Amino acid sequence: MVRHIAGQLAQAVLLLIAVVIIIYCLLQLIPGDPIQAMVGDVPVPAALRAALEKRFQLDQPFLTRLIGYLGNILHGDLGYSMTYRRPVLDILAERFPRTLLLAGIGYGFGITIGIAIGIHSAVTKHRGVDQAWSSLVLIGYAMPTFWVGQLLVMAFSIQLGWLPTQGMGPMISRAQGLDWILERATYLVLPVLTYTILETTRVARFMRASVSETLEQGYIVTARQKGLSRREIIMGHVVRNSILPVITVMGYSFGTAMGGAVLLETVFSYPGVGSLMVESVRQRDTQVIVGVVILVACSVVVMNVVVDLLYAWLDPRIRIASARR
Amino acid sequence: MSVDANTIGRLQRSRKSASLDLLRRLFRTRFGGIGLVILMVITLLSVFAPLFATTGPLELGAPSMQPPSGQYLLGTDSLGRDLRSVMLYAGRSSLTIGFCAAAMAFLIGGTVGALAGYFRGPLAAVLLRITDLFHTLPAIIIVLFSVSLLGANFWLQVAAVALAIWPIEARIVYGQFITLSEREFVLAARAAGLSTFHIIFREILPNALPTVIVQVSLDASTAILIEAGLGFLGLSDPTVPSWGEMLNRGQEYLELAWWMSVFPGAAICVAVLGFNLFADGVTEMFNPRASAAPPKLEG
């Protein structure tokens, strides 16, 4: 098991280094003179140019700069944001937990509800119920995330006036303790709901397919002939076996979920990593963009490792095989 | 070899009836027919946009912010454009991105997947690693990154979307090549001394086609969604109207003009649904077990 984990981690680290190298190479493709861009629309004196080249190591060969860059990242130095006048790492440290909170809650609800719908859709005796779920899921799957957000805002904030839409808390607040949490929570309801709808449709689709496949297996026939009740078969045999592939798929689509946050946070002006990325693209704040890309890559890779380990732990076949080695 | 005209005629007839037969089978699947009809309708509406539109896409002049009415079917926007016309022309660019990005993703991913799947060995290892690398980053992040580097030109945007979605295509084609190149007909072609080119393009590819068509169709829907996201963020080409860009404008007027957001979003939803249903139908057609009604538990 330890060897399995070590192998996974080594691969993950290599993948991350490769991502950083590719991003660095792509950055070299930006047309224009970097020093001119730093100084602005004025002629650059030769002395200043030389000083800047030395300061940012632009006079060094490409490989030296690349290694220096990798070293900086390992030390947690992701550069400095010109727009926010702060180190990039600070901004990310402030914003990432918020995105995790939003995505985490939405993901949790989405997986739970999606699994329930998928199972119900696959095992129900009424073809009409299955058709209804399938159609709903298909439509939900086709709706752009941010549009769902807009529709919910129109319904719950503008028409009904129940919930706030922008940001993650009131500008001025005197609330304390539990009231403070409740006040904050009202701001989270709509973004989380949107997220949940999005994730639910995806999970339900996979879960239905997975359960249908399980139902065709020989052990279900055996279980039936043993005289087990419908309930016992579903709880004891179908659910356990169908959930495994879904967990893998959901783990690997964590990246897509992070991508969804980019659009969602913009709809609700939620100050997370996604809206940071969009603002930085608009401001052409390259250091921040690269920081976000590296952060997202890291979290996706970490999530993949977690899923691999979870899978190895949940599936006795893999658990035993790796223990024997 | 001499073939008389009669035989050729018969062959052509049989080919025609074969494609008719395929169509019939597609319409017999659960959703395939609906998908195809949706796709045909929106494609025709965009291609013949000038026939159905009342004004040009960027033409102003109507009173602004009119709700849907008999005169302005889908209402007018904040600038005084007839939304019905804007929608039709915007459909052109959204569909163009869908089709072109999917085609490009197929070219890149298909080539990578075919090379890796056919030749295997170290080449495959390298190609698959590269695929993984791109797959690590979410598509929208790749597209945003490319747009921030290259700017918001329409065709660069198509390329950026293709760059973001090709890895899935590569994976699918790779899988097909791995399975198919072990099958008897490929071994027979090898034994007959046919060229590698012939084996890849005439033997394996036609047999991988159903799976590939499904993936290309799903890619097109993904591309439309990504474009919509980009437009919504206000980062698409400002000179080309698109459904996403319309939603960006609508976001400011959510309280005043629901029609500015509802209709473009619904259009995106319908187009994506069309591609997805079509893909589902094709899957069901060639692999009836995959999405036909599952066996039900009795008792």
Per-residue model confidence as pLDDT tens digits over B161-186 = 898 888 888 888 888 888 888 888 88
What mean pLDDT comes out for the span B66-79?
Answer: 68
User: What is the band of B104 on the pLDDT scale with cuts at 50, 70, 90?
Assistant: very high
Task: Decide if pLDDT at A325 tops 60.
Answer: no
Task: Decide if pLDDT at A213 tops 70.
Answer: yes
Q: Which of B136, B221, B235, B255 is the mutation pick for testing A, counting most A CBs within 10 A? A: B136
Which of B42, B39, B60 has the alpha carbon at shortest distance from B218?
Answer: B39
Q: Does A160 touch chain B (CB under 8 A)?
A: no
Length of chain B: 299
What mean pLDDT comes out for the span B257-261?
Answer: 77
How many domains, in total, are found in chain A? 1
Helices A273-283 and B139-150: crossing angle, nearest 10°? 20
B298: number of Cβ within 10 Å: 7
Mean pLDDT, chain B, rounded, equals 80
Q: If you measure CA to CA, which chain B residue comes closest to A289?
A: B145
Chain B residues within 8 A of A27 when measuring between CB atoms: 149
Task: Decide if pLDDT at B103 tops 90.
Answer: yes
User: What is the band of B65 on the pLDDT scale with cuts at 50, 70, 90?
Assistant: low
User: What is the band of B102 on the pLDDT scale with cuts at 50, 70, 90?
Assistant: very high
Task: Decide if pLDDT at B2 tops 60.
Answer: no
Are A176 and A169 in contact, with CB atoms under 8 Å apart?
Answer: no
Q: Provide the pLDDT for residue A167.
A: 62
Q: Provide the pLDDT for residue B196.
A: 83
Q: If you measure CA to CA, which chain B residue comes closest to A130?
A: B293
Task: Decide if pLDDT at B294 tops 60.
Answer: no
Instruction: Quote the tokens at residue B227.
Output: 């474009």
Chain A residues within 8 A of B214 when measuring between CB atoms: none
Length of chain A: 325
Q: Does A137 touch chain B (CB under 8 A)?
A: no
Mean pLDDT, chain A, rounded, equals 78
User: Is the CB of A139 less than 8 angstroms away from the CB of B276?
Assistant: no
Task: Decide if pLDDT at A74 tops 90.
Answer: no
AA letter at A307? V
Cα A255 to Cα A188, A302, B157: the distances in Å are 21, 11, 21
A135: number of Cβ within 10 Å: 12
Q: State how far the Cα of A194 lies from the Cα of A109, in Å rounded to an integer.
A: 11
* CB-nearest partner of B138 from A224, A234, A259: A259
Q: Provide the pLDDT for residue B9.
A: 64
What is the separation of C-alpha B212 from the centre of its chain, rounded to a whole number of angstroms?
12
Between CA A298 and CA A308, with CA A304 as vertex, the angle to 5 degrees is 145
**How far apart are the CA of A57 and the nearest CA of chain B, in angstroms?**
22
* CB-nearest partner of A123 from B145, B255, B297: B297
As a whole-number percent, the residues of chain A with pLDDT over 70 amount to 84
List, in order, residues 6 or more apart from B177 with CB less than 8 Å away: B113, B114, B116, B117, B118, B204, B208
What mean pLDDT comes out for the span A207-226?
Answer: 82
**How far apart are the CA of A158 and the nearest CA of chain B, in angstroms?**
6
Q: If you measure CA to CA, which chain A residue comes closest to B273?
A: A142
* CB-nearest partner of A15 from B133, B149, B255: B133
Between CA B110 and CA B133, with CA A250 as vertex, the angle to 5 degrees is 40
Q: Provide the pLDDT for residue B299.
A: 42
Least confident range from B157-166, B242-251, B267-276: namely: B242-251
Are B233 and B248 in contact, with CB atoms under 8 Å apart?
Answer: yes
As a dihedral over the C-alpha atoms of residue B77, residue B82, residue B85, residue B88, rounded to 10 degrees, the angle is 30
Longest dimension (CA), chain A: 89
Which of B45, B47, B35, B43 has the alpha carbon at shortest distance from B214?
Answer: B35
* pLDDT greater at residue A14 or residue A182: A14
Least confident range from A119-123, A131-135, A149-153, B14-18: namely: B14-18
CATH 1.10.3720.10 fits B79-287, yes or no: yes
List, in order, residues 6 or more apart from A100 with CB less than 8 Å away: none
Task: Decide if pLDDT at A68 tops 70.
Answer: yes
Which residues 199-228 in chain B show a CB within 8 A of chain A? 221, 225, 228
Task: Decide if pLDDT at B225 tops 70.
Answer: yes
Q: Provide the pLDDT for residue B139.
A: 82
Instruction: Quote the tokens at residue A293.
Output: 């890309």
**How far apart are the CA of A55 and the nearest CA of chain B, in angstroms?**
24
User: Is the CB of B225 less than 8 angstroms away from the CB of A144?
Assistant: yes
* CB-nearest partner of B294 from A147, A153, A215: A215
Which of A147, A104, A94, A144 has the alpha carbon at shortest distance from A276?
Answer: A94
Residue labelled with tokens 């899978």: A311
Task: Decide if pLDDT at B244 tops 70.
Answer: yes
Are B127 and B115 in contact, with CB atoms under 8 Å apart?
Answer: yes
Q: If you measure CA to CA, which chain B residue comes closest to A205?
A: B291
Q: Provide the pLDDT for residue A168.
A: 60
What mean pLDDT comes out for the span B127-145?
Answer: 83
Task: Decide if pLDDT at B7 tops 70.
Answer: no
Q: Is residue A90 situated within a structural domain?
A: no
Phi, psi of A41 (to 5 degrees): -85, 50
In this structure, is the dihedral angle defined by the CA atoms of residues B132, B134, B139 and B140, taken in order, positive or negative? positive
Which residues 190-219 in chain A show a CB within 8 A of chain B? 209, 211-212, 215-216
Q: How many helices (H) and strands (E) does chain B have?
A: 13, 0
Chain A residues within 8 A of B31 when measuring between CB atoms: 138
Q: State how far the Cα of A126 lies from the Cα of B91, in Å rounded to an integer.
A: 38
Model confidence pTM above 0.90: no
Q: Provide the pLDDT for residue B1.
A: 46
Q: If you measure CA to CA, which chain B residue comes closest to A17?
A: B133
What mean pLDDT comes out for the span B276-287?
Answer: 83
Q: Does A258 touch chain B (CB under 8 A)?
A: yes
Q: Does A297 touch chain B (CB under 8 A)?
A: yes
Select the highest-mean-pLDDT range: A70-79, A179-188, B38-47: B38-47
**pLDDT tens figures, A125-176:** 778 888 888 888 888 888 888 888 888 887 777 767 676 666 666 555 666 6
User: Is the CB of B297 less than 8 angstroms away from the CB of A215?
Assistant: yes
Query: How, if at all, do strands A86-87 and A80-81 pair?
Result: antiparallel
As a whole-number percent, the residues of chain B with pLDDT over 70 amount to 81
Q: State how far the Cα of A246 lies from the Cα of A208, in Å rounded to an integer.
A: 10
Q: Is residue A188 situated within a structural domain?
A: yes
User: Is the CB of A147 less than 8 angstroms away from the CB of B291?
Assistant: no
Q: Provide the pLDDT for residue B74.
A: 67
Are B89 and B267 in contact, with CB atoms under 8 Å apart?
Answer: no
**pLDDT tens figures, A278-302:** 888 877 777 788 888 888 888 888 8
Q: Provide the pLDDT for residue B292.
A: 47
Select the highest-mean-pLDDT range: B100-104, B139-143, B202-206: B100-104
Task: Decide if pLDDT at A90 tops 70.
Answer: yes
Q: Provide the pLDDT for residue B101.
A: 92
Please give the residue range of the domain that contains residue A132: 97-170+179-271
Are B136 and A255 in contact, with CB atoms under 8 Å apart?
Answer: yes
Q: Does A163 touch chain B (CB under 8 A)?
A: no
User: What is the band of B105 on the pLDDT scale with cuts at 50, 70, 90?
Assistant: very high
What mean pLDDT comes out for the span A221-235?
Answer: 80
Give the CATH number, domain containing residue A199. 1.10.3720.10
Q: Provide the pLDDT for residue A175.
A: 62
Q: If you measure CA to CA, which chain A residue comes closest to B137?
A: A297
AA letter at B78? S
What mean pLDDT comes out for the span B39-45?
Answer: 87
